[in-house]
Amino acid sequence: MNNIHGHEVMHMMVNSGESYSRDSLRQAIQTNFGEDTRFFTCSAQGMDADELIQFLEVKGKFHPVEGGFTTAPERICNH
C-alpha cells in the first residue's frame, strides 16, 4: 500500500492549475496516487482520499474560486 504525504496532493493541485470540487479532487487523487493509497500529514496518518480532503479543508488549506476551490504554494508547510 502506498503511503503519501498530503503535501504531494497539494503540489498536484497547484501544478494542475485547475479548480476542484470534492468529487473531482477525489477522482484526481485516485488517478494520480491510486485508489488504495493512504495519506499522512504532520499531525495525522492512515487517511483515505476523502479523509485527507476533509482534513485539508478543516486546516484551511483550500481557498474558494469560481467553480470550486484550489490551493496555493504558500499554504503548503515546508518541513
Of residues 33 and 73, the one with the higher pLDDT is 33
Write out the three cell numbers for 39. Answer: 495519506
Average pLDDT over residues 15-38: 96
Share of the chain above pLDDT 70, in %: 99
| List of domains in the chain | 3-75 (1.10.10)
SS3 2: coil
Residue 54 pLDDT more than 70?
yes
What type of residue sits at position 28? Answer: A
Does residue 75 have a pLDDT over 90? no
d(C-alpha 3, C-alpha 36), whole Å: 9
What percentage of residues in the chain have a pLDDT greater than 90?
84
Residues 6+ apart with CB under 8 A from 69: 19, 20, 21, 62, 63
Extract the C-alpha cell encoding 12. Answer: 498536484
Give me the pLDDT at residue 79, please.
Answer: 65
* Structural contact between residues 20 and 63, judged by C-beta atoms closer than 8 angstroms: no
| pLDDT mean over 4-23 | 95
More confident residue, 77 or 56: 56
